[in-house]
A and B are shown apart, each in its own frame.
Chain A
Amino acid sequence: MTASTSSIASVMAGPAGHRGWRARLAAWRVPLSILALCLLPWLLPSNALAVNVLVYGLLAVGYNLLFGYTGLLSFGHAAFFGAGAYVTGIAIGRFGVPWFAALLLGVAAGAALAFVIGLLSIRTRGIYFSMVTLALSQLVYYTALQASSWTGGENGLRGFTVAKLDILGWSIDFLDPIKKYYVLMVFAAAALWLVSRILNSPFGAVIEAIRENETRARACGYDVERTKLIAFTLSGLICALAGTLFALHLAIVPLDILHYQTSGMIVMMTLLGGAGSFFGPFVGALAFLLMEDVVSLWTSHWQIVVGTVFILFVLFLPKGIWGTLIAWRADR
């Protein structure tokens, strides 16, 4: 084996296991993930569920970049999801901005907000970091609540329905659920490609090194704070994209999107699926949404059940559903 091919295996495979198999899977992770997302509407009982798995899955993918790969537990990611959604909604509804420009604005706003919140929180460690991100995202929540002339306050933001998308002379009926799904999926696919690119890059190696051992990374010559801030901003950017897709899909932005329960949900989805695994966030989103649907049929206290399942996962299946499956397959 030459130095370069063996190095690809050792770089891509990450933690132990049969590196050959995992390296092959890693090399194909983007096309395989896109294929799975293509099939989703045909595998799930409803289109509504498929769109939700897509959007929340993407949200968890963005979060996973920070939590799973950089090792930072943020409790404030609802802010970026919400910023993307609100800015897109306001841009379309109030200023009549074309949908694609509104999407870009939403993403830019979410990334900018992530940069600011990152700047304020990144120097704190551990539980303090989690608390600072939580507090700052609560600030965003109350700002949205107060600025009701812009955001609709508790009633949520309405009145920006996109019925038709004009793409390069084509006109797509955005009210057709299947067409809508595939339009949104194109953006999710682009984001997955970007995330995979980041993970394969030199920068991707640095964030994993920081997750593994911050002190050693610093001694090796990496500016840990600056690297974390970049990772935080990129993570916020992906979450903001999920937010704009959410707004385009629902044509409403409920205030709840900024609530700390949304931040908690993002953490749960990521952990259920498998923090630090590429496709895990989608599996986590599906598991969470299915649980919510099924359990809420027979009790209104579904959060207790979901919370219990979550705790069991943390205790007994820390790699999550997808992460455990991958590790199990790799060990055989």
Chain B
Amino acid sequence: MNAPLLSVESISRRFGGFIALEGVTAAFEANKVTAIIGPNGAGKSTFFNVLSGVLAPSAGSIRFKGRDITGTPQHRFAHLGIARSYQITNIFPELSVHENVRVAAQAFRARYDIWRNRAVMTELDDRADAALAAVGLGGRRDGTAKFLAHGQQRALEIAIALVADPELLLLDEPTAGMGPEETKEMVALLERLAAERTILLVEHKMKMILGLSDRILVLHHGRLIADGSPQHIQTDPEVRRVYLGQNDGYA
């Protein structure tokens, strides 16, 4: 087996007396799609927040590409090669669609430069256009981000993450709030991404997860209760009891 791209060792996260994540240990190989499922409040988003530096773990450590990155400030994560989308759409609403992605690409070229004119950095424009094209928003580049439809805003957020060319992509419920038509488009996008990237994906839509992922982790009350192939997870009695049973509509 290859050395894992990412590994977490006994990760816990407390909020006051409440334990949102407890003793989670797992390793993730490159070029695989791993889904993380679990009931509401299971700690999925908290797990992502720890993996993307938004929250420091209360205990445990995170290794990425063999380096211990526990306690690294959040803004360094994009530079390490970890990019994410949020459960609730998180874009620059008043900026143009193109500028949303361009400014994300700029973080790797110029952050404190007050002298150059940014309009001469044309390679950033091209990278932004490429990322927009990859998520199917090429035609909307000059519109204002807040006027995009919900599904397009979610795709824009993925373009913002993609333009960083991350080695690890964390997607927190990319189809949240989408209707069937928008979900179909998002699934098609995720299938394209799955072919070439390492992805961790939080989702509730079981059918979609089973089609997309190489592996599934199940969280329940902050603990990892199952970890295995989609076939294995579907038949796991404990998982059926806490999760799948409640989600017959999806399963």
Contacts and interface: CB of A to CB of B under 8 A. Distances in A.
Interface string B96-139: 10110011101111111111111101100110010000000000
Given A3-B122, A200-B118, A201-B115, A221 B90 contact: no
Contacts of A205: 99, 102-103, 106, 118
A224 B83 CA distance: 17
B107 A213 contact: no
A200 B113 CA distance: 10
B78 A220 contact: yes
Nearest to B147: A16
Interface stretch (A7-15, A124-132, A160-168): A7-15
How big is chain A's contact interface, by range?
35 or more
A220 B74 contact: no
A212 interface: yes
Given A3-B126, A220-B164, A222-B107, A212 B115 contact: no
Contact of A202 (B75, B116, B142, B160): B116
A170 B52 CA distance: 61
A171 to B, nearest CB: 34
A7 B117 contact: no
B113 A221 contact: no
A10 B212 CA distance: 36
Nearest to B161: A219
Interface residues of B, number: 50
B129 A3 contact: yes
Nearest to A17: B144
A10 B99 contact: yes
A204 interface: yes
A11 B102 contact: yes
Given A202-B111, A227-B111, A212 B93 contact: yes
Contact of B75 (A6, A200, A221): A221
B141 interface: yes
Given A15-B144, A202-B121, A7 B78 contact: no
B92 A7 contact: no
Nearest to A4: B122
Given A219-B78, A222-B107, A7 B52 contact: no
A12 B119 CA distance: 8
Interface of B: 52, 54, 73-79, 83-84, 86, 90-96, 98-99, 102-104, 106-119, 121-122, 125-126, 129, 141-144, 147, 160, 164
Interface of A: 3-4, 6-16, 19, 197-198, 200-206, 208-209, 212-213, 215-224, 226-227, 230, 234
5 contacts: A4-B125, A8-B119, A205-B103, A219-B83, A220-B78
